[in-house]
Amino acid sequence: MSELSTPSNPRVLSSMPLCRAIGLRCERGGRELFSDLSFTLDRGVMLELRGPNGSGKSTLLRALAGLYPDVDGEIDTCDLAYFGHRGGLSPTLTVAENLAWFSGLAGTTADDVPGLLRRVGVPYPNRPLSELSAGQQRRVGLARLMMTGERKPLWLLDEPLTALDSAGEALVGELIDEHLACGGGVVCATHQDLPVVPGLRIELGH
């Protein structure tokens, strides 16, 4: 993990914003979810999306990730990691194999996997994912986020606190703080309050 920038040596980073959205408008099923939505996410800032179910939080996140093209307006982001409802982990593989696959996709090395897994509280690298509980699988997803944090400065989190116990929520807070300290950015859609004070907040669906 030596290459990964750790809180001890945050590297000097360009001041370009991580994500810029101009005049976003989205209509789904004939209903307008949001319109004329613009924001700029700079480094070290967290944007929190609030709003009732079906207010377009996940749609906006997927649009930022480039996974939902039906949004008018302009989006300009850098490499990003998307942490959605579907964990993106394959149950037949072991935890270590899943992480090895992700590090390959992100083009980074994953040498200190046991340390990473201990950090997120799932210290069983060789256990198949299907044997882990939903909360543990979410924690492995968090380990994935941490591992690719270097290559993907922008994190898009879709209700990260689901299926996590109180220790898990504290863990999420720590990870977000570290990521922001390293000059990353976070866009988080959530219902519960996060242990991190958001720099920006957007209400949807009112």
Partner 1 sequence: MRHSSGPACRAWAAHRVRPLNALVAQFLRDWRIALRSRHEMTTPLMFFAVVVMLFPLAISPEPEQLAAIAPGVIWVLALLASLLSLEGLFKRDFSDGSLEQMVLSAEPLFLAVVGKLLAHWCAASLPLVIFAPIAALALSLPLEALSTLLASLLLGTPTVACLGAVGAALTVSLGRGGMLLALIVMPLYIPVLIFGTSATSFAVAGLSVAGPLAWLAVLAGLSLTLAPFAVSAAIRMACEE
Nearest to partner 1 of 18, 161 (CB atom): 18
Does 102 bind partner 1 (CB under 8 A)? Our answer is yes
Nearest to partner 1 of 93, 113 (CB atom): 93
Does 114 bind partner 1 (CB under 8 A)? Our answer is no
Binding test (CB under 8 A) with partner 1, winner from 97, 112, 169, 178: 97
Min dist. Cβ of residue 100 to partner 1 (A):
6
Distance separating alpha carbons of residues 94 and 1, to the nearest angstrom: 21
Does 170 bind partner 1 (CB under 8 A)? Our answer is no
Among 81, 80, 99, which residue's Cα sits nearest to residue 89? 99
Distance separating alpha carbons of residues 186 and 189, to the nearest angstrom: 10
Beta bridge partners of 21: 39, 75
Tokens 């939505």 -> residue: 37
Nearest to partner 1 of 67, 181 (CB atom): 67
Does 148 bind partner 1 (CB under 8 A)? Our answer is yes
Contact status, residue 154 vs residue 41, Cβ threshold 8 Å: yes
Q: Where are the beta strands (DSSP E) in the chain?
A: 19-28, 31-41, 46-50, 71-77, 80-83, 154-158, 185-189, 200-203
Report the site for partner 1 in 65-84 (rule: CB under 8 A).
65-82, 84
Beta bridge partners of 119: none
Q: Which amino acid is at 200?
A: L
Min dist. Cβ of residue 166 to partner 1 (A):
26
Span interacting with partner 1, options 12-20, 48-56, 116-124, 188-196, rule CB under 8 A: 12-20
Nearest to partner 1 of 12, 197 (CB atom): 12
Quote the radius of gyration of the chain (alpha carbons, Å).
Answer: 17
Contact residues for partner 1 (CB under 8 A)? Answer: 3, 11, 13-14, 16-18, 20, 63, 65-82, 84-93, 97, 100-109, 148, 150-154
